[in-house]
Amino acid sequence: MLARVAGLAHLLTSDAARTPGILSDSVDLVVTSPPFLDVVDYARDNWLRCWFCGIDPGGVEITIAREPGEWHDAMGAVFLELFRVLRPGKFVAFEVGEVRGGTIRLEEIVIPSAVSAGFRPGLVLVNSQHFTKTANCWGVTNNRKGTNTNRIVLLEKPQK
């Protein structure tokens, strides 16, 4: 199935806030998981994905915001670009989590940013588990550090 549409795929390594290679109103669905503030070393931890795609990980710029306000601004710019490329009536599934020991729930930052860009929020799906999703790979004690929930913020670009 994927082989039939492989020729239509576009691999971009640009900033998500600037994607001139994607036409306006041309995308049906965006599924993404942005960097969660400064809690993970995304450049180092994504080397395998880059290797599979033949990309030098050192050449990929990753936005790492250290503070919630900085992250809000960065995501706001991304939402403006997502709004541009998404077709009316289509959706963005934006995966976030809680950070800093659960004191910051990123959907509370994402939703106002998305609304400012023109999106209509549909729901926040919270997946809570009895273990920290990254505990084993980094030696983190379960449910004490790391991200214990995933949150999918579903957003719709309204019809014109």
Query: How far, CA to CA in Å, does 130 sit from each of 5, 10, 150?
Result: 38, 37, 12
Q: What is the pTM (predicted TM-score) of this model?
A: 0.78
Superfamily of domain 25-156: Vaccinia Virus protein VP39 (3.40.50.150)
3-state class (DSSP) for residue 26: coil
Q: How confident is the model over 15-27, as a mean pLDDT?
A: 93
CB-CB contact of 147 with 140 (8 Å):
no
Cα 63 to Cα 102: distance, rounded to the nearest angstrom: 22
Tokens linked to 26: 């041309």
Q: What letter would DSSP give residue 115?
A: H
Q: What is the pLDDT of residues 97-134, one digit of tens each?
A: 777 777 888 899 899 999 999 999 999 998 876 655 55
Cα 17 to Cα 12: distance, rounded to the nearest angstrom: 12
Q: What is the pLDDT of residues 22-67, one digit of tens each?
A: 999 999 999 988 876 655 666 666 666 777 778 787 776 766 777 8
Q: Where are the domains of the chain?
A: 25-156
